[in-house]
Amino acid sequence: MNAPFEGIGASMKRKEDLRFISGHGHYVDDINRPGQLYAYIKRSDRAHAELRGIDTAAAKASAGVVAVYTSADLTGIGGLPCGWQIHNKDGSPMAEPAHPVLASGKVRHVGDPVAVVIAETKQQAKDAAEKLVVDYKDLPAVATVTDAVKPGAAQVHEGAAGNVCYDWEIGDKGAVDAAFAKAAKTVKLDLTNNRLIPNAMEPRAAIGEYDPTTGEHTLYTTSQNPHVIRLLMGAFVLQIPEHKLRVVAPDVGGGFGSKIYHYAEEAIVTWASGKLAQPVKWAAERNESFMSDAHGRDHVSTAELALAADGTFLALRVKTLCNMGAYLSTFAPAVPTYLYATLLAGVYKTPAIYAEVKAVFTNTVPVDAYRGAGRPEASFLLERLVDVAARDTGMDRVEIRRKNFIPKDAFPYQTPVALQYDSGDYVSTLDAAMKHADWAGFPARRAAAKAKGKLRGIGMSTYLEACGIAPSKVVGSLGARAGLYEVANIRVHPTGSVTVFTGTHSHGQGHETTMAQLVSDQLGVPFSQVEVVHGDTSKIPFGMGTYGSRSLAVGGSAMVKAMDKIITKGRKIAAHLLEAAVEDVEFKDGKFTVAGTDRSKTLSEIALTAYVPHNYPIEELEPGLDETAFYDPKNFTYPGGCHVCEVEIDAETGVVSVVNFTAVDDVGRVVNPMIVEGQVQGGVAQGIGQALLENAVYDQDGQLLSGSFMDYTMPRADNLPNIKVGTETTLCTHNPLGVKGCGEVGAIGSPPAVINAVVDALSDYGVRHLDMPASPQKIWSIIQGAPRMAAE
């Protein structure tokens, strides 16, 4: 009898979905601890002001109030740490201003926390917060990167002259300058990567609890990486040793990067619960999410490409201003440098690349990694530039790409910007995407659209990303203050079922399914007999969490390493039981067999023997079957592919509709095709959101104009086409599974494909470029302006 195939490559339905879709998910705000109090954070409504004093008397006297704290009360507490240090061109370290848990001396963005009120109910905490009298003296504010670097601009931090956090470079400037000097053609493009607000479905929340009898603190928090929070908050902010600090991240409703970082509210509830010896809960309201979750993107760049007469890329020069916001969030400095500029080679064999990145402070919410993190900014710049180069030089958009692709026999390929790609085949994904999208049939569809009064355009991006973050030694040399390995503990129970403890964290990705399939496949245990546990520092040895499409590539590889140890031990036990030499025992499909015989023992028989070691090599081998492994990746992984987008524009209103979207990605080995399809579709939805809809807008005084869903345009189902997803596989060469990662490809590959299609649709209007989002008003203005531009 053949068992149903449940292993690597099967589209198993997600184990976790029963509880999610039946309302049984267990999120932080579902947790209530005995005697719990409620915290409400009073936030600045000013972008930039001196904080001259806070009168807390009326608030403290308000009904139900237990405590009111301002920065003056937080004695002995450190500021929020930054996990990455970038160095300037001259070798000096970046400016790293203090990031107090509660604003001290000044407020620097709308939403900056100034005080916390803790009361018996949330209502009472809110009522009391209204009675706080905050004495502000307004200061001039600066909201955009271009304004921040102007002479005489308002200064966000005393320690960051000219608002510059760092002025960094990568690549060979001399080689690039030389190539430009002799190039047959050069192309230049100014572009903006719009600022985004992550808007995970579940707002952030945190509960602090303290047990005075043991001195142990517990923090329940909406985190993508509970061990990282334990490390950062314990060591740098509150000085609580690891053995007295447990961090639990239960079900988490989406993160997209915004729940990686250590936030002030986590430290506040942990500290206050210790001080008050009562649990303290804080849960963000949606408007707080808009003004306190780290935002994403926000680059202003100039890109230049030098080409030979035949269209061969000779050199790329990039200058980028990026927004850090008012304070450095946990990974912020790494995003526009090592997750952005190192990706500027893309899929092309451009021999010389030079990039300068200047990070600046503004009076806005801190900016950090958001789905794709740096790589969408790189792919947008590069794939727009390539389209513009084709247009300016009269070459075909597809041919210019083919001509410059790194060929599939050139791997490993060393780029001029630090990375070494291990594998890829960019022609295969391009060909497959063009075929699935019927690129060849587009002219007929354009003509049909024209007949009904619509402008139709098609565009593509051939992109690459680096994920599976990351080799510890490499990132350490680049400024990371942590290692980026991953940890797995595989526990085979006495009767042969398996619990997998992983340091990664699932907040929508389906790890409980994918990882169970992986373990089921490798150990030959039924899928239903494998349980994946994540999100609790008291259960899992250690871990760096989930971001940068790393969970399978790094976390899954750690599982393979732990399973190898299980199998190695199992072979020894089997050899004993079967009275054979260890080297003659093979493991396959859940069975230990003496080579060339039918004598075998199942894994569950071995497990039972390991826990009931009556007939057991007890002198040489410990009982039990429970192994832990740390896996440090040898390199990043390099997924890539081709996205093709087709749009129709209503020229009268400027509305852009995405009518077709095809994504063909190389994500390495696919464990669960259904989950990969869903991950890519979700990423593409966010990419279409960035390209057409989403925009975080501040006015010049630093007020957030898009501070709610009334004004911040989230993509909705009716904004999206049926997204076609395909995969073409080359295996990662340096991890045991050959996997590359699929969480971010959608958000990285899609925005330039959409804008390339929009520009193509507007080709009759002489449009060379437009920045995101391609809103109806923007498209209408371009169409209105076009005849006038033509007349000039």
Partner 1 sequence: MYDFEYLKPKALAEAASILAGDGDAKALAGGMTFIPVLKQRLNKPSKVVDLAALGLSGIKVSGETVEIGAMTTHATVAASADVKRAIPALAKLAGNIGDEAVRHRGTIGGSLANNDPSACYPAAVLAMGATIVTNKRRIEADNYFQGMFATALEQGEVITSVVFPVPAKAAYMKFANPASRYAMVGVFVAKGPKGTRVAVTGAGQNGVFRHKAMEEALAKNWSADAVAGVKTPADGLNSDIHASAEYRAHLVGVMAKRAVAAAG
Question: Where does this chain bind partner 1 (CB under 8 A)?
Answer: 123, 126-127, 130, 287, 652-654, 693, 695, 697, 705-706, 709-714, 775-777, 780-781
Decide whether 126 or 244 has the Cβ nearer to partner 1.
126
Structure tokens at 655: 């509305």
5 Cβ contact list (under 8 Å, min separation 6): none
For the chain, how many residues are written?
A: 792
Counting Cβ atoms within 10 Å, is residue 10 exposed (0-12), middle (13-18) or buried (19+)? middle
Q: Nearest approach, Cβ of 777 to partner 1 (angstroms)? A: 5
**DSSP, res 500:** E
Structure tokens at 359: 């990070």
Q: Nearest approach, Cβ of 774 to partner 1 (angstroms)? A: 11
Give start and end residues of each alpha helix (H) in 597-720. Answer: 603-611, 673-688
Decide whether 589 or 711 has the Cβ nearer to partner 1.
711
Q: Whole-angstrom distance between the N-terminal and C-terminal Cα of the chain?
A: 78
Decide whether 161 or 710 has the Cβ nearer to partner 1.
710
Q: DSSP assignment of 366-411, as one string?
A: -B---TTTTHHHHHHHHHHHHHHHHHHHT--HHHHHHHHBPPGGG-
Structure tokens at 177: 């300058």
Decide whether 236 or 290 has the Cβ nearer to partner 1.
290
Q: Nearest approach, Cβ of 197 to partner 1 (angstroms)? A: 12
d(Cα 155, Cα 163) in Å, to the nearest integer? 6
Decide whether 432 or 693 has the Cβ nearer to partner 1.
693
Q: Nearest approach, Cβ of 709 to partner 1 (angstroms)? A: 6
Q: Nearest approach, Cβ of 132 to partner 1 (angstroms)? A: 15
Q: Nearest approach, Cβ of 122 to partner 1 (angstroms)? A: 11
d(Cα 461, Cα 455) in Å, to the nearest integer? 20
Decide whether 410 or 705 has the Cβ nearer to partner 1.
705
d(Cα 789, Cα 792) in Å, to the nearest integer? 5
Q: Nearest approach, Cβ of 318 to partner 1 (angstroms)? A: 29
Q: Nearest approach, Cβ of 705 to partner 1 (angstroms)? A: 5
Residue closest to 707 by CA, chosen among 142, 138, 199, 147: 199
Q: Nearest approach, Cβ of 255 to partner 1 (angstroms)? A: 23
Decide whether 575 or 767 has the Cβ nearer to partner 1.
767
In three-state secondary structure terms, 281 is strand
Hey, CA dihedral for 90, 375, 191, 354, is it positive or negative?
Answer: positive
The answer to whether the beta carbons of residues 783 and 765 sit under 8 Å apart is: yes
Residue closest to 339 by CA, chosen among 303, 375, 368, 296: 375
Decide whether 13 or 716 has the Cβ nearer to partner 1.
716
Decide whether 194 or 517 has the Cβ nearer to partner 1.
194
d(Cα 454, Cα 189) in Å, to the nearest integer? 28
Decide whether 287 or 604 has the Cβ nearer to partner 1.
287
Q: Nearest approach, Cβ of 704 to partner 1 (angstroms)? A: 11
d(Cα 722, Cα 576) in Å, to the nearest integer? 57
